[in-house]
Amino acid sequence: MIQYGDSPIKGGQQFCTNSYCSLASQKLSKRQLTEVVTVNIREKLQCIIRRNISFFTECQELFPAFDISSGNRYQVITEKVVHPITFNIHVDGAPLVRSTKSSLWPCFSSIVELPPPIREFQTNILTLGFWISCVKPDVNVFLQDIIEQLIDLNQNGTSIFVNENEFKVFVKTQFFISDLPAKSLFTKTINFNGYYACTNCTTEGNTIFICI
Confidence class of residue 166 from pLDDT cuts 50, 70 and 90? confident
Together in a domain, 53 and 110: yes
Together in a domain, 152 and 188: no
Cα–Cα distance, 26 to 135 (Å, whole number): 20
Number of folded domains that form the chain: 3
Tell me the residue range of the domain where 201 lies.
179-212
pLDDT at 86: 93
pLDDT at 6: 40
- pLDDT surpasses 50 at 7: no
pTM: 0.80
Q: What is the pLDDT of residues 25-50, one digit of tens each?
A: 777 777 777 888 899 999 999 999 99
Together in a domain, 17 and 52: no
Q: What residues are paired with 175 via a beta bridge?
A: 88
More confident residue, 114 or 70: 114
Together in a domain, 116 and 24: no
Together in a domain, 118 and 207: no
Together in a domain, 44 and 144: yes
- pLDDT surpasses 70 at 170: yes
Average of per-residue pLDDT across 62-90: 86
Together in a domain, 71 and 124: yes
Together in a domain, 141 and 113: yes
Together in a domain, 131 and 207: no
58-62, 188-192, 198-202: least confidently modelled range: 58-62
Average of per-residue pLDDT across 181-208: 87
pLDDT at 68: 85
Closest-CA residue to 114 (of 161, 158, 49): 49
What are the φ and ψ backbone dihedral angles of 183, each rounded to 5 degrees?
-60, -45
What average pLDDT is seen over the chain?
84
- pLDDT surpasses 70 at 11: no
CA end-to-end span of the chain: 50
pLDDT at 17: 66
Biggest CA-to-CA distance, the chain: 69
12-26, 106-120, 152-166, 193-207: least confidently modelled range: 12-26
